[in-house]
Amino acid sequence: MNAAEKSIVVNAPVAEVYNRWLRFEELPKFIESLGKVQRIDDTHFSFCTLRDGKEQRGVVEVVHQIPERRIAWRTITEGVGLGVLSFEPRSDNTTEITLKLRSVFDPSVSGESADEYLRKFKALVEGEALRL
């Protein structure tokens, strides 16, 4: 099983960071391997990704949520994958995020990709805060 765990501190309050990650349809803004993400219902999202030059489609199910603390999900189609995102307030205006990813079949799950996702998410959130 391939696994990765990375953390980053985002300069924004925990509620803002948590709510921003919940916008699953916007994941392709910082996870470039994802194509379109669409909400199916409150806990299911369809997605497409490009792997080895081929478009693949899948469904993600959010299996656990603790508001402003944790989100856990799994893919329920090809390529079993799991993810957990934890949110820890460090101050009124900073939040530490820890991303854990696991995949049975996907060798691309790595610390480098998890780190890249978090850095791009941080830039997105902090960039929007500066524009307000």
30 domain-assigned: no
pTM: 0.85
Distances (CA, A) of 27 to 46, 47, 91, 97, 121: 12, 10, 25, 15, 9
| CATH number of the domain where residue 65 is located | 3.30.530.20
107: phi then psi, degrees, rounded to nearest 5:
-70, -10
For 109-131, how does the pLDDT look when each residue is reduced to its tens digit (9 = 90+)? 566 788 888 999 999 999 875 55
DSSP 10-58: ESS-HHHHHHHHT-GGGGGGT-TTEEEEEE-SSSEEEEEEEETTEEEEE
46 domain-assigned: no
Number of domains in the chain: 1
pLDDT at residue 132, rounded to an integer: 44
45 domain-assigned: no
63 burial (CB, 10 Å; 0-12 / 13-18 / 19+) is middle
The pLDDT of 62-85, averaged and rounded, is 88
64 domain-assigned: yes
70 domain-assigned: yes
pLDDT at residue 92, rounded to an integer: 95
- Quote the domain boundaries for residue 77: 2-22+60-131
Find the radius of gyration of the CA atoms of the chain: 14
37 domain-assigned: no
48 domain-assigned: no
The pLDDT of 74-95, averaged and rounded, is 88
68 domain-assigned: yes
